[in-house]
């Protein structure tokens, strides 16, 4: 099974027969019966771009079977874990929880991935922003309709290949497993996200749309559930907080409740758009791009006066998107379809914003909000974005007119250099001039600078214990993903969601339910008394007698040793609860000595192994 590295022209790399022949020659084989490309990247450093391939070559044909969707266990009767947010962190946390025998309850403030389209159209055409359903909020999170880029440098934080393989299992192209800079595309992601949701529901998890969390249920330093905008109180073993980097209401909720959050540095600037042909000429050293090459991208960075100026979320063949999450603000981002076949190339160009010493935990949130509101006023109090030609921006002069731009709500002339904080505008000017000297054609008035690019990452970090990944003050609360300040993109957010799910499963013993042994879970039991109905579960080591229960839970929450106080103040001896639970598993057992308890099992048993 030789594995070889070969370098081909774009035309040769597009022909499987030529790839196989070149790989066989590199491996010293007379002929090859089959080959498999393991890695693919474009090397455009020389005058003639080349494609670098890592190839496994075999004497016989290689049978490549498509990856099938994962087989998930049935968790309908398993203990619940609330997951707030249906972005990549929340979805991958839910899938991992199911794999460990727990039942995720996903709460998403926005709409399902298809229904979101109507709200995106309202932003693009009518300048109407729905605070709960937009480019950032809704099933799939911000990445679903803002590009689907899968490149990450966070290889030490988790299983990158495992995340990419999961996407392929749910319908992504297998190309993402071999490309150096994998990309799904905004037009393909909705189908994949829908397949993930359907798998979660089929396994017994639940997904609730239009469900915005407005409060946490806290008792004695532990989270017991959440309250929602429609008045529901939902209880569970733990709460995974995967709300995304734009959930300012959650940041403010935590701060108001005295739950520690910290101001975090982020980056702010503009989105810059060029004709794609300019970027192709600069990167591929040609007048016309080879049809076998993809639209060119770029990555630029410069240090200016001690702070970084750099390109962010570069979208070849892409579109600038309106990403406001509330009325009276303008926010930009970018996305590309899978073919990247639009005539423009756009990228964020941003400057690091450090946290001032002694800053309030919400200081960076307020900085974001102030600049975004100023951009809304400058755009005419609509979703139209203020814009300026690049050289005009650098020279500090107004643009008499503007080039065509992909931004759907439209752009209006404005001195963007005066809109941004002075320290950011100064560094952007210097950075753009430096990039122009480095990349032929980049510094041009054919490029347009569009304000404002401000949602590069979360302006807040929600601190968590390094060992347990729970909040440092609140047991059972697991902040994760971009919103908590632990990720920066689809893949890193997905990996963080998985890490949290795995760590929760490993630390479950802290609440009395799991201690590392095999645990058998008696399904939910409803016990009625007075005017209330309580739902109980019992957990015991496999093989232990049915009346020996070291852990009994009400509403998914551990009872205090010995007794439980019900809603009516009654005290339930643990042995009577155990007897009722046994009766649920064996309905013919006598329950005459339990006149005030009525129980009914809901079928089956679930076994979880640490």
pLDDT digit string, tens, across residues 421-468: 999 999 999 999 999 999 999 999 999 999 999 999 999 999 999 999
* Alpha helices by DSSP H, 82-130: 88-99, 116-121
Per-residue pLDDT at 152: 64
Q: What's the whole-number mean pLDDT along residues 494-507?
A: 85
Calpha distance 564→76 (Å, rounded): 25
Interatomic CA distance for residues 521 and 541, integer angstroms: 9
Pair of tokens at residue 351: 């400057």
Q: How confident is the model at residue 154 (pLDDT cuts 50, 70, 90)?
A: low
Three-state secondary-structure class, residue 216:
strand
d(CA 330, CA 23): 51
* Per-residue tokens: 37: 């490309």
Query: Which pair of tokens denotes residue 563?
Result: 């007794």
Cα(304)–Cα(299) distance, rounded to whole angstroms? 16
- Coil, strand or helix at 510: helix
What whole-number distance in Å separates Cα of residue 555 and Cα of residue 537?
Answer: 8
Question: Residue 420: what pLDDT?
Answer: 96
Q: Contact, 80 vs 236, CB < 8 A? A: yes
Which pLDDT value is given to residue 30? 87
Burial of 82 (0-12, 13-18, 19+ CB in 10 A): buried
- The tokens of 188 are what? 């393909």
Q: 74 with 94: CB under 8 angstroms?
A: no
**Residue 435: what are its φ and ψ, rounded to 5°?**
-65, -35
Average pLDDT over residues 105-126: 95
Mean predicted confidence (pLDDT) in 150-161: 70
Cβ burial of 258 (10 Å; 0-12, 13-18, 19+) is exposed
253, pLDDT greater than 70:
yes
* Tokens (6 digits) for 517: 């042994």
Task: Judge whether residue 610 has pLDDT over 50.
Answer: no
Please tell me the distance from the alpha carbon of residue 418 to that of residue 425, in angstroms, as a whole number: 8
Q: Which residue has the tokens 């058998």?
A: 520
Q: Could you tell me what percentage of the chain is helix, strand and coil, using 3-state DSSP and rounding each to the nearest 5?
A: 25, 25, 45
Q: Does residue 563 register a pLDDT over 80?
A: no
Judged by average pLDDT, the poorest of 228-232, 336-340, 498-502 is: 336-340
Tell me what the mean pLDDT of segment 396-405 comes to.
Answer: 96
pLDDT on residue 156: 58
In DSSP terms, which residues pair with 554 in a beta bridge? Answer: 536, 557
* Mean pLDDT (the chain, rounded): 84
**Rounded to the nearest 5 degrees, what angle is found at the Cα of 200, between the Cα atoms of 95 and 470?**
40
Other CB atoms within a 10 A radius of the CB of residue 540 amount to 21
Fold classified for 80-246+466-510: FAD/NAD(P)-binding domain (3.50.50)
Report the C-alpha gap between 44 and 42 in whole angstroms.
6
Q: For position 337, what pLDDT does the model report?
A: 82
Residue 523 near residue 603 (C-beta atoms within 8 A): yes
Q: What are phi and psi of 451, to 5 degrees?
A: -105, 145
User: What residue spans define the domains of the chain?
Assistant: 3-58, 80-246+466-510, 265-453, 519-608
Q: Residue range 337-357: average pLDDT?
A: 94
């Amino acid at each position: 099974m030789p594995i070889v590295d070969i370098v081909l022209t774009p035309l040769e790399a597009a022909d499987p027969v030529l790839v196989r022949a070149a790989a066989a020659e590199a491996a010293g084989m007379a002929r090859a019966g089959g080959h498999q490309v393991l890695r693919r990247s474009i090397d455009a450093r020389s005058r003639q771009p080349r494609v670098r391939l890592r190839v496994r070559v075999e004497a016989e044909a290689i049978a490549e079977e498509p990856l099938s969707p994962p087989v998930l266990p049935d968790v309908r009767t398993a203990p619940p874990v609330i997951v707030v947010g249906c972005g990549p962190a929340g979805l991958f946390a839910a899938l991992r929880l199911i794999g460990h025998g727990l039942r995720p309850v996903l709460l998403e403030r926005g709409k399902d991935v298809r229904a979101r389209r109507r709200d995106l159209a309202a932003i693009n055409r009518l300048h109407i922003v729905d605070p709960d359903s937009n480019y950032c909020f809704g099933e799939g999170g911000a990445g679903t309709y803002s590009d689907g880029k899968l490149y990450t440098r966070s290889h030490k934080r988790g299983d990158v290949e495992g995340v990419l393989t999961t996407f392929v299992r749910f319908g992504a192209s297998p190309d993402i497993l071999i490309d150096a800079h994998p990309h799904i595309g905004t037009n393909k992601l909705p189908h994949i996200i829908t397949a993930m949701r359907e798998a979660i529901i089929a396994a017994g998890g639940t997904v609730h749309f239009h469900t915005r969390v407005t409060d946490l249920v806290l008792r004695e330093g532990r989270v017991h559930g959440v309250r929602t905008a429609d008045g529901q109180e939902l209880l569970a073993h733990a709460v995974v907080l995967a709300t995304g980097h734009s959930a300012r209401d959650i940041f403010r909720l935590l701060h108001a409740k005295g739950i520690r959050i910290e101001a975090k540095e982020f980056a702010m600037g503009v989105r810059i758009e060029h004709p794609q042909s300019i970027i192709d000429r600069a990167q591929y050293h040609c007048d016309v791009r080879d049809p076998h090459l993809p639209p060119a991208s770029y990555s630029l960075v410069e240090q200016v006066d001690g702070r970084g100026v750099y390109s962010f979320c570069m979208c070849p063949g892409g579109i600038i998107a309106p990403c406001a999450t509330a009325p009276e603000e303008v926010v930009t981002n970018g996305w590309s379809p899978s073919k990247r076949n639009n005539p423009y190339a756009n990228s964020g160009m941003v400057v690091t914003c450090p946290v001032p010493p002694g800053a309030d935990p919400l200081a960076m949130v307020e900085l974001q909000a102030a600049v975004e509101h100023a951009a809304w006023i400058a755009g005419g109090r609509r979703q139209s974005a203020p814009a300026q030609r690049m050289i005009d921006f650098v020279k500090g002069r107004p643009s008499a007119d503007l080039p065509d731009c992909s931004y759907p709500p439209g752009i209006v002339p404005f001195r963007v250099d005066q809109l941004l904080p002075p320290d950011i505008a100064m560094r952007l000017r210097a950075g753009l001039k430096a990039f122009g000297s480095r990349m032929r054609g980049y510094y041009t008035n054919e490029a347009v600078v569009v304000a404002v690019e401000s949602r590069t990452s979360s302006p807040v970090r929600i601190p968590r214990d390094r060992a347990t990944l729970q909040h440092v003050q609140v047991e059972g609360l697991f902040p994760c993903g971009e919103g908590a300040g632990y990720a920066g993109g689809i893949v890193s957010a997905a990996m963080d969601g998985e890490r949290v799910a795995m760590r929760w499963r490993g630390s479950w013993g802290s609440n009395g339910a799991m201690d590392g042994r095999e645990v058998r879970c008696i399904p939910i039991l409803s016990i009625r008394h007075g005017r209330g109905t309580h739902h109980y579960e019992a957990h015991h080591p496999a093989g232990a007698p049915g009346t020996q229960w070291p852990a009994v839970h009400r509403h998914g929450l551990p009872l205090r040793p010995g007794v439980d106080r019900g809603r009516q103040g009654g005290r339930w001896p643990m042995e009577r609860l155990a007897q009722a639970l046994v009766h649920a598993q064996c309905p013919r057992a006598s329950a005459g000595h339990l006149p005030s308890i009525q129980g009914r099992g809901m079928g089956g048993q679930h076994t979880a192994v640490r």
